[in-house]
Structure 1
């Protein structure tokens, strides 16, 4: 009898944990806050943009696309790690792990390429106002199609054996298998970094470098200058969130023998998941027209009943909100 009990105990699989139980609980709570604000903020941008038709100009469709990709990254990524951290391991199985890794990867690079196109369009407007192709609705949708198809190709690579998706850090979330020590994985990561991080960052750097060299024109393009400040703020927020994670992955590619503790690998992983929170906040504070429409929406248009002298910051009625924008222009504060 005693021998049977010993054999039964030995056959039980113990799920290894890297954090103490309280550590996983803290991660679950932080991810819950992150998911709540990310989903609320991006849904607000999407709903307000759909409700007020004048917000759907060719430039703002990229803001809408950015909010949608950030929302999907939160729904398919952050919400999952709330539950997995609550249990202390990725209990949903390998297929769900692959799904989460694919979704976070896909929507993440869609967000970066959307910001890249926004930065280049600001460059086109400021530095080549006469020689560049004017952004039309048709061209805007063509660029969006390129972003989604191009990023899908790279996100599907690990699904077909070029690298892989698997658990990372403290094993409660999944992503590209950065720690897989194989030449197939290294080759994917090198080309992935080149096309999905380095090239977008170089385009953004070129765009804003050219704009800064044309800073003497600011007096005649003050509205465009405020628009590009908004886009730059979004780009910087995204890069700040994702740069530590990118550096961590590049270290593994450059030096496959390096041993990174799970906790050190986890911090940049979860920090990158906060990026969907910030873009709607930046858009709200730096886009006056969107801010007025948002206030009108949240107050059920009651703001239109106020007299202008009661609150100069929010005196615009919803009717004014619907007519203030200039076509083909992000209307910042």
Structure 2
């Protein structure tokens, strides 16, 4: 029996390939736009914004290095390259997946630290520390991705034959400790940290809001801005976890039960849904960030030759750290509209 032959119908193979191609194109375009906008405002970036850049690089890397092979295999009705490419694809998928969840975890912790003193203009995390944190997410992901190559865990084809990942069914006995550790340290613990951090931020914003209403009957601009950034950060984290949750459940079922009881068509859906996680972040930025949407439209017009490329250089584009407790009322009142339309493309404080 050829383990790399598709167990799906030819029509479903073609449909899967078209879907993956669509996801790849959207992911590459969307995350490239995020990186372009970050580059154009690089001179005004704050250290925590590096996490948003890091997350875009992670999603872009997955789309570029993995999806073309999956599309070609789907249209060929057979996994191309055999064991070598299957190992590569499984390692890459695990590597980028762990890097993404750990990046989101660090992002939640940083946002929580920033929220402890909303009115402070002092940088809470330096560029050096932020670069170390970003490097740590990549090294952590690389270590976990190499474990199966070193004998703890295993990579193998998915039941439907058109993708490769951790060989869940084969690790039921010999790699069960790896599975438990992997789920604990790369899904459960990060999810708990993310939930606790954003819950803590929400409580902090709530009490700051009540205090401001009692004192001056007006919501400070910094609270409004943090609230919008909190919404974006929560949506990004929830989107990623929601995309991977069905795949995680099916994978656990394959380990605890007989994986052959899951029809190939059923095992295909969670896998395809998980791959769509690389698309959502740019979409969330575009929907909820007025500045990101405006700059994308400006770039599009520039590409069409209508206007010269220009990205707003207002000091309020990155005002999360710019609003302090001692801002004069007159200045604060004049900058209210600017701050509410500030660049919330990034989800860091």
| TM-score > 0.5, shorter chain as reference | yes
Residue equivalent to 1:233: 235
| Deviation (angstroms), 1:298 | 2.5
> Structure 1, residues 60-100: CA drift from partner, whole Å, max 9, x if none?
21111111100111112222110100011112221111111
Residue equivalent to 2:300: 298
Residue equivalent to 1:93: 82
Aligned residues: 310
Query: Does the alignment pair 1:111 with 2:111?
Result: no
> Structure 1, residues 41-71: CA drift from partner, whole Å, max 9, x if none?
1111112211332463212211111111001
TM-score between both structures, scaled by the size of structure 2: 0.81
Equivalent of 1:251 in 244, 250, 253: 253
| Deviation (angstroms), 1:257 | 7.1
Counterparts of 1:109 and 1:24, CA distance in 2: 27
Whether the 8 Å contact between 1:178 and 1:252 is mirrored in structure 2 is: yes
Residue equivalent to 2:39: 50
3-state SS in 2 of match to 1:59: helix
Residue equivalent to 1:279: 281
Counterparts of 1:237 and 1:118, CA distance in 2: 15
Residue equivalent to 1:67: 56
Structure 1 stretch 254-263 or stretch 133-142: which is displaced more? 254-263
Counterparts of 1:248 and 1:143, CA distance in 2: 32
Query: Does the alignment pair 1:185 with 2:187?
Result: no
Residue equivalent to 2:129: 139
Equivalent of 1:217 in 208, 216, 223: 208
Counterparts of 1:133 and 1:296, CA distance in 2: 31
> Structure 1, residues 149-168: CA drift from partner, whole Å, max 9, x if none?
11111111111111111110
Q: Evaluate the alpha carbon distance shift between residue 13 and residue 35 of structure 1 in structure 2; reply closer, same or farther with a 3 A threshold.
A: closer
3-state SS in 2 of match to 1:65: helix
**Pairwise CA RMSD of aligned residues?**
2.7
Residue equivalent to 2:142: 152
Whether the 8 Å contact between 1:166 and 1:174 is mirrored in structure 2 is: yes
Residue equivalent to 2:69: 80
Query: Does the alignment pair 1:201 with 2:191?
Result: yes
Which sections of structure 2, spanning at least 5 residues, go unmatched?
Answer: 210-218, 322-341
TM-score between both structures, scaled by the size of structure 1: 0.84
| Deviation (angstroms), 1:328 | 6.1
| Deviation (angstroms), 1:106 | 0.5
| Deviation (angstroms), 1:284 | 2.2
Counterparts of 1:117 and 1:15, CA distance in 2: 37
| Deviation (angstroms), 1:140 | 1.0
> Structure 1, residues 78-128: CA drift from partner, whole Å, max 9, x if none?
221101000111122211111111111111111111111112222222235
Whether the 8 Å contact between 2:153 and 2:171 is mirrored in structure 1 is: no
Residue equivalent to 2:18: 29
Equivalent of 1:331 in 336, 339, 343: 343
| Deviation (angstroms), 1:258 | 7.1
| Deviation (angstroms), 1:16 | 4.8
Counterparts of 1:96 and 1:57, CA distance in 2: 39
Which sections of structure 1, spanning at least 5 residues, go unmatched?
Answer: 1-11, 306-316
Whether the 8 Å contact between 1:102 and 1:165 is mirrored in structure 2 is: yes
Counterparts of 1:140 and 1:328, CA distance in 2: 17
> Structure 1, residues 18-46: CA drift from partner, whole Å, max 9, x if none?
21111111111111111111111111111
| Deviation (angstroms), 1:209 | 1.7
Counterparts of 2:117 and 2:257, CA distance in 1: 43
